[in-house]
Structure 1
Amino acid sequence: MKRPVLILVALLALTPHAFGDWNIHVAPNGSIQGDGSIQKPFQNLTQARNAIRAKRKSSEIASDEAIVVQVGPGVYRLDQSFELTAIDSGTSAAPVIYRSTQPGTAQIHGGESLQPSAFVPVTNPNALKRLSSSAQDQVRVCEVQNLNGDVPDLNDSFRAVPAGPWLFINGQPQELARWPNANADNAGWTSFTKAIDSGMPQPDATDEKLRKLHPGSFQFDDPRPASWDLSQGVWLRGYWTHDWSDEVIRVATYDQQAKVIGLAKPHSYGINNGTWGRSERRFYAVNVFEELDAPGEWYLDRKNKQLYLIPPADFSNASVVLATLQSPLVKMTDAHHIHLEGLSIQYGHSDAISIRNANHIQITNCEIANHARSAISLHGSDNIVSSCHVYNLGTSGISVKGGDRNTLTPGNNLVVNNHIHHYGKFQRTYAPGISLQGCGQIARNNCIHDAPHNAVHYGGNDHLFERNEVYRVVMETGDSGAFYSGRDWTSQGNVIRHNYIHDLGESDSTHTNTMGVYLDDCDSGDTIEGNVFYRAGRAIMIGGGRDNPVLNNLVIDCPIGIHLDSRGMTWEQWNNPKYSSWQLERKAEALNYLNPPWSDRYPWLAEIMNDSPREPLHNPMRGNVFINVSKEVCHFDAKVRKLLKKLDIQNNIVLNTPGSATTTVKATDIDGFTNWDASQKDTLPAEFNTNFSPATLFHSHSGWQKKFPSIASIPFDEIGLIPNP
């Protein structure tokens, strides 16, 4: 009775074709002569792809047959991108699937593995004398002569990714030799307050170079730069004027007597040229051989191809990878109906996955980590990125663009249930965890945390952000928000609802310039509904925009609840042709906003020029609950307060729990807000106490929903990551 079963198993092992699907096998110990069977697997993904192409060309594989490339455990090193095009596509009924046989164990790498034993003590006397006496016995050096071609130098200035390669140990990016040293929170800054030359154009200067944007200089009293060999290159990463614009610039000169550092390239906003926020400016030095003094710090002698390192603890058995591949590990162009499942895609000095003009691509349950640029850059429609673990990235996490804004056709791309964290290592600002552009994308049930700047950045139309958890973002920057969009009347129809935004970067004692949701510079047409803001700075900020409903949100322990200002009425930039990034009306005209489908979908926008366009009108604020707000529930400027009768403000509640600070807003200040205070504590449910938090509220069963029906429907337990099916 068992013999037929044994024969069937043997047949399945001998042929990739079974039950209408093709199963093609890949393993690291495969052979270049492999045939894709279990016994003779292919050696890599490229072999498998080429075999599929050949079998389709010969009609051995029919167009209605699904293909599963079974990728076995192990490391698959790439020295060029794995590329898929239209000829590699599947169909809706028969997709092409690249699947790890054991999720997370098929590792696609774009780097060189180095042996810990290859790192030996430094004997070069010239190198030793540049190191501190305490570091000389700790530093090890490894010859990396096998790196292809010349190793490029760092540019004199850069905002994003430095020239590669980059070093990773035990799956973590290491720190390029720097001063001051970083700590666990990636702090470690020094600062200055006096610019000698901001570098901004000086129209009356006799020197022609000074009449243009030029390299600036600043006074730095600490004598530390005197120990650096500038001829070997020293770079400074700084927030030179604004806390939302970082740049790395090489040091050109150092006057030890005057204590002045001169930079090699100009910064577009100048050096300490005025900002909202901190008066002092922050920077740290990088790529400084003399500062190689802490475990995990490294330095690459690019000319001689020698890698210096102070090894971390337990280095003898460490995994050491030098990420070298300068192109995406996976590229898809004009492809469709392809799935990547359970793969680990790591160690590259570009994007991990680049997808262009593609549809019905699915990336599921993949680990995407340790790349100099983004995890996924996707352009197309009807694609899904789900249940992926995305971390340790030089720029952004997942960037999606699709649909047609002219016709308001949705892209229907879905970013769902992804865990995204520790990104923005190189580009510290405007490199978000999730970016949605175009028309009609969805980001749902993602968890985004630990980053210097935005969690979500978006532009375009009709995007939906729901049930996402966001925390420990905007940790390093100011005048920035966890969710951010700005400077566009046409960015209409976006909905931010039922998200939990909490524990954001701290504002300083003078300014609260960290925001939960930030609609900047007259951005209009978005709905902020049913979100929970907890310890989120200035929870909701509307910078002069219109048609932004703020409905049924819960704000707890935030310095400022909601901000609305009149910058459209007071700033010269408003709709001004002199400022190319503003020109609000011209942007709308470019999309033919006075005619269908725009005038049908957004009739209020079609009427904007006839409806006091500079005023921040039609921002209804209804049903919001503000608990323990410490500075201002409503930060409205004087012109906004004169417009209060034009604003729809109703049924908002301001509450202090026992033992909390007293809020500054009273019921008589702004109609539509009812203030409760600690004297009414007997009327409050028991969970409203000095240890109050969103969890105690939503997990209680005391009937608080009857007191606050506007926020009772927030599905708090459904926010954030969900178990994989």
Structure 2
Amino acid sequence: MKLSICLALSLSIFPVFSQQAEPQVANIFVSPDGNDENSGLESAPKASVNGALRTLRALRQEGELTEEFQVNVWLRSGRYRVEETVTLRAGDSGTAEKPFRIAAWPNEKVVFDGREPIERSLFAPVEDSATLERLAETARGEVLVAEIPEGDLHRLLALPESQVSFGSRMLQIARYPDLGFATFAKVLKKDSRIANEVGTREEPKGATVTLNPAVPKEWAAEVKTSEKARLSGYITETWAKGSFVIADMDGSNGAITMRDATGYGLPRPHGSRAFLENVLPALDRPGEWFYDVAARKLFLWPPTDLAQDEVIGVWAGTDAFTINGASHVKIENIAFENFGGRPNGSGVLNIRSGTDNLVAGCRIQNVAAPMTAFNITGGVRNRILGCDIFDVANASRLNGGSYNAEGFTAGENTIENCHFTQIYSTDFYGKVCGMGGAGNVFRNNLVHNHNGQIVTIAGVEHLVEKNEVFNTGIEEGDGGAFYQGAMMSSWGNTFRHNFFHHIMCVPKMYTRAAIFSDDGDCGDHVIGNVFYKAGEGFKTNTGSGHLAEDNITIKGIHAFQFLSGRSESRYQRYTGFLEDNPTSSEKENLIGKMLKVIGTEGWEEGAKTENWHHYVSPFWQERYPRMKSLFATWQKEKRIRVLNEVRNNHAFGFGDRNPHAIPEFTKQSGNTSRRSLSIFKDPDKLNFAYKRKRPSWAPDIPFAEIGIYQDPYRPEVPDKDRYREAVAEFWEKETSAPPREYVVKEVNQRSYFNTGKLVLGLLDEE
């Protein structure tokens, strides 16, 4: 095929004016109805992006396609089955002036669909009396069943993490209770003393518990025979959801025995709570499903009537795109739906290496763990911009850049102007973003209606700014929306001009924070943020070297909470590793793990209790004078002193209560506590821009610039005043602090507000 074929339609896309030279543009078209043997003209499109790439690569090899050409792969509307990853290598690169674009044709809807479809003809109403008896009374006459043949569909549905969608809507695995958790009424038998020991159904190693509200005793046979039955929830840690295979259920008292031991042992001093999932009688409302592995039968209660062109299917599909060495590539305005069944490290969109690549204006919806929506694991100046990520358990990884004792190289990779929320999921637990490496950016994102520590941070010199975060960590104890822990080498991370609101804490659990530097993590800069009913605001656990300045905190539990305890014994534990096992990977070997990254040559043999701080790299001690002073103080006093600085921060609405929970030796200056919110534009709508000229004492926070914004990839944004007002009204009578007692119904009413549906509903209205 000659290049002239590809150029035939250039003028219809890029108008040429008489005074300009004809642009050199190569366009190849792709359509779900195409054929990879076609030319790629609009009238004869390819069937796949890989088909288009093969043609482009051949043209490059023949010398007909050079860097002077703007190359576009245009995707026409429709659904594309994802069966083969599109991998972009160095030879596929564009240039800064003429990037290689893979994009939806303007104003057309393109969906890459990973699901394995299930023939609609397989589904029929449940009619046999034996199966009807197994169903909840409300589900009889409503539930459909399909007998699944042996093969890929059965294999995918049998996976523990399998998920099903109905059209574009994810269905919820049948569970009890339908919302929230049941508490542990009693622990009748403790679990194995060996942490995480795996048992069998015949010889379980897990604990035996009863729940409140109790699982109906008549479900015992279903629970024991369901190969996918799990007890899931905050069972052994308040800060992490686990899922445990059920070995047995006693039909006389409803007691459930877990097959495997927990990590921390049961019973726990806090309130353990869980829900039962994957048993047929729990399928009792529209939008739920259950797969009977042994019988190969899929049951579902349709949430709505299924349109003729919509598909029922199980999430699957390989990675859609991987950029591995290519630069100046744009992937634009494509939707990706229904992915899963892939190993950890796999993502729908992946940037492994390369520079100045862009994924923009995409929607990624329905992705099951451990797969992610997208990963940036290397390269420089790569960006995810203006994307929507809905009903995804683990959304993204943001890495790139590196650091060592000699210094660091910034990745400058960025996630910006993206919207992360859950719409139909009620129990996905995972991260919005795991940041690592050095010098990456998470900016102007909207994150809400999510569980877990939504952004976890490791590495140095990252920038987290202008994000709006609310209604996160639902039902989770401890932790924070943004979390970093157990890394003394993690310095220079900046949290600037973010708006955190409505981080609602749970009864009988450790309180949560907007930003939490845990387990000795050091060296954060928290500047110019607004915290409203955001739990502890900025919280540390034996962390030092932090600077918090120019923040505004309104009606939280505390503005700052700095936990400090057992400083001498903690120091002895830390330095003890240097004497006995300096390269240990154990959590409390914080000094040794730091020196492994930023220690000077010979630290493994030379660093001891009396001299370890001299082995910390001069580069980092000079870059961060607080580090040098901090480590010298620890060395001199032989204890872990929590030495932080808090200056020019302003708290509102705490009355006579002290807004700060910080040690007396924390350096403080210029902090105030005030009652009136009159300086702000509209507190009822959570608009904390200044009403008039900024008071001289008030920090300069660009409040109007926080959150998602309009750009070419996001032409519409939800009305911030409207959804913020609705959120504020929902929790108007609630404080961020937890109530005294854990009452299931009250916790559900307090904790579960689907702000995903709220915000998207307002956008639909507009």
Query: Which residue of structure 2 aligns with residue 361 of structure 1?
Result: 357
CA drift at 1:32: 3.4
Residues in 1 aligned to 2:527 and 2:680: alpha-carbon distance in whole angstroms: 24
Show the 5 A alignment for 1:158-307: 162-164=160-162, 166-182=163-179, 187=180, 189-201=181-193, 214-220=205-211, 222=214, 224-228=216-220, 229=222, 230-233=224-227, 234-257=229-252, 259-274=254-269, 279-307=270-298
Distance 1:482 1:202, change over 3 A: closer
Letter paired with 1:402? G
Q: Does 1:23 align with 2:27?
A: yes
SS of the residue 2:327 aligns to:
coil
Query: Which residue of structure 1 aligns with residue 561 of structure 2?
Result: 563
CA drift at 1:98: 0.3
CA drift at 1:348: 0.8
Residues in 2 aligned to 1:282 and 1:603: alpha-carbon distance in whole angstroms: 45
CA drift at 1:60: 2.2
Q: Which of the numbers 77, 81, 95 marks the counterpart of 2:81?
A: 77
Letter paired with 2:598? N
Q: Does 1:469 align with 2:475?
A: no
Unaligned runs of 5+ in 2: 1-6, 17-21, 578-583, 600-615, 713-766
Contact 2:156 2:314 (8 Å CA) reproduced? no
Moved more, 623-632 or 262-271: 623-632
Query: Which residue of structure 2 aligns with residue 622 of structure 1?
Result: 647
Normalised by the size of structure 1, how large is the TM-score? 0.83
Letter paired with 2:61? K
Query: Which residue of structure 1 aligns with residue 155 of structure 2?
Result: 151
Aligned residues: 655
Any idea what the Cα deviations from partners look like across 1:349-382, whole Å, max 9, x if unmatched? 1432123233322101111111113211111122
Distance 1:134 1:687, change over 3 A: closer
Show the 5 A alignment for 1:41-440: 41-102=45-106, 105-114=109-118, 118-145=122-149, 148=152, 150-151=154-155, 162-164=160-162, 166-182=163-179, 187=180, 189-201=181-193, 214-220=205-211, 222=214, 224-228=216-220, 229=222, 230-233=224-227, 234-257=229-252, 259-274=254-269, 279-315=270-306, 317=308, 319-349=310-340, 350=342, 351-372=347-368, 373-380=371-378, 381-395=380-394, 397-406=395-404, 407-422=407-422, 429=429, 431-440=430-439
Q: Does 1:655 align with 2:674?
A: yes
Distance 1:693 1:554, change over 3 A: farther
Q: Does 1:585 align with 2:585?
A: no
Q: Does 1:595 align with 2:620?
A: no
Residues in 2 aligned to 1:11 and 1:134: alpha-carbon distance in whole angstroms: 59
Residues in 2 aligned to 1:424 and 1:523: alpha-carbon distance in whole angstroms: 35
Residues in 2 aligned to 1:602 and 1:447: alpha-carbon distance in whole angstroms: 31
Query: Which residue of structure 2 aligns with residue 547 of structure 1?
Result: 545
Contact 2:175 2:278 (8 Å CA) reproduced? yes
Letter paired with 1:544? T
Moved more, 470-479 or 565-574: 565-574
Letter paired with 1:537? G
Residues in 2 aligned to 1:570 and 1:126: alpha-carbon distance in whole angstroms: 66
Query: Which residue of structure 2 aligns with residue 680 of structure 1?
Result: none
Distance 1:447 1:10, change over 3 A: closer
Identity %: 24
Distance 1:329 1:125, change over 3 A: farther
CA drift at 1:114: 4.7
Residues in 2 aligned to 1:616 and 1:66: alpha-carbon distance in whole angstroms: 59
Any idea what the Cα deviations from partners look like across 1:79-111, whole Å, max 9, x if unmatched? 233333334333334432101113571111111
Residues in 2 aligned to 1:549 and 1:720: alpha-carbon distance in whole angstroms: 24
Distance 1:91 1:426, change over 3 A: farther
Residues in 1 aligned to 2:477 and 2:308: alpha-carbon distance in whole angstroms: 41
Show the 5 A alignment for 1:570-719: 572=570, 575=574, 577=577, 580-593=586-599, 594-606=616-628, 608-612=630-634, 614-629=639-654, 632-636=657-661, 640-641=663-664, 643=665, 647-657=666-676, 685=678, 692=683, 695=686, 697-701=688-692, 703=693, 705-706=694-695, 709-711=697-699, 713-719=700-706
Any idea what the Cα deviations from partners look like across 1:515-565, whole Å, max 9, x if unmatched? 111111121111001000001111111212111111010000112221112
Query: Which residue of structure 2 aligns with residue 513 of structure 1?
Result: 511
Letter paired with 2:207? G
Residues in 2 aligned to 1:262 and 1:685: alpha-carbon distance in whole angstroms: 56
Letter paired with 1:19? P
Query: Which residue of structure 1 aligns with residue 759 of structure 2?
Result: none
Residues in 2 aligned to 1:192 and 1:14: alpha-carbon distance in whole angstroms: 63
Residues in 2 aligned to 1:697 and 1:11: alpha-carbon distance in whole angstroms: 49
Distance 1:332 1:323, change over 3 A: farther
Letter paired with 2:650? V
Moved more, 226-235 or 532-541: 226-235
Any idea what the Cα deviations from partners look like across 1:194-245, whole Å, max 9, x if unmatched? 3233324279xxxx99xx9942222347251441421223211121122212
Q: Does 1:498 align with 2:497?
A: yes
CA drift at 1:582: 2.4
Letter paired with 1:168? S
Residues in 2 aligned to 1:505 and 1:154: alpha-carbon distance in whole angstroms: 36
Contact 1:544 1:568 (8 Å CA) reproduced? no
CA drift at 1:655: 1.5
Residues in 1 aligned to 2:565 and 2:428: alpha-carbon distance in whole angstroms: 27
CA drift at 1:143: 4.2
Residues in 2 aligned to 1:135 and 1:214: alpha-carbon distance in whole angstroms: 35
Unaligned runs of 5+ in 1: 1-7, 156-161, 658-683
SS of the residue 2:106 aligns to:
coil
Residues in 1 aligned to 2:339 and 2:569: alpha-carbon distance in whole angstroms: 44
Residues in 1 aligned to 2:512 and 2:500: alpha-carbon distance in whole angstroms: 12
Residues in 2 aligned to 1:193 and 1:630: alpha-carbon distance in whole angstroms: 38
Letter paired with 1:290? P
Letter paired with 1:409? T
SS of the residue 1:382 aligns to:
coil
CA drift at 1:337: 2.4
Query: Which residue of structure 2 aligns with residue 5 of structure 1?
Result: none
Distance 1:78 1:715, change over 3 A: same
Residues in 2 aligned to 1:686 and 1:403: alpha-carbon distance in whole angstroms: 42
Residues in 2 aligned to 1:154 and 1:249: alpha-carbon distance in whole angstroms: 16
Distance 1:104 1:470, change over 3 A: farther
Distance 1:612 1:425, change over 3 A: farther
CA drift at 1:419: 1.1
Residues in 2 aligned to 1:218 and 1:568: alpha-carbon distance in whole angstroms: 34
Query: Which residue of structure 2 aligns with residue 670 of structure 1?
Result: none
Contact 1:543 1:566 (8 Å CA) reproduced? yes
Any idea what the Cα deviations from partners look like across 1:389-435, whole Å, max 9, x if unmatched? 1111022x221111012131100101111111129959855x32222
Letter paired with 2:706? I
Any idea what the Cα deviations from partners look like across 1:615-666, whole Å, max 9, x if unmatched? 44441111111011279534547xx23x3xxx32111111123xxxxxxxxx
Residues in 2 aligned to 1:21 and 1:538: alpha-carbon distance in whole angstroms: 55
Letter paired with 1:408? F
Runs of 4+ in structure 1 over 6 Å off: 8-11
Distance 1:565 1:151, change over 3 A: same
Contact 2:52 2:73 (8 Å CA) reproduced? yes
Letter paired with 1:449? H
Distance 1:620 1:235, change over 3 A: same
Query: Which residue of structure 2 aligns with residue 662 of structure 1?
Result: none
Normalised by the size of structure 2, how large is the TM-score? 0.79
Residues in 1 aligned to 2:61 and 2:294: alpha-carbon distance in whole angstroms: 48
Distance 1:342 1:251, change over 3 A: same
Contact 2:647 2:671 (8 Å CA) reproduced? yes
Letter paired with 2:112? I
SS of the residue 1:528 aligns to:
strand
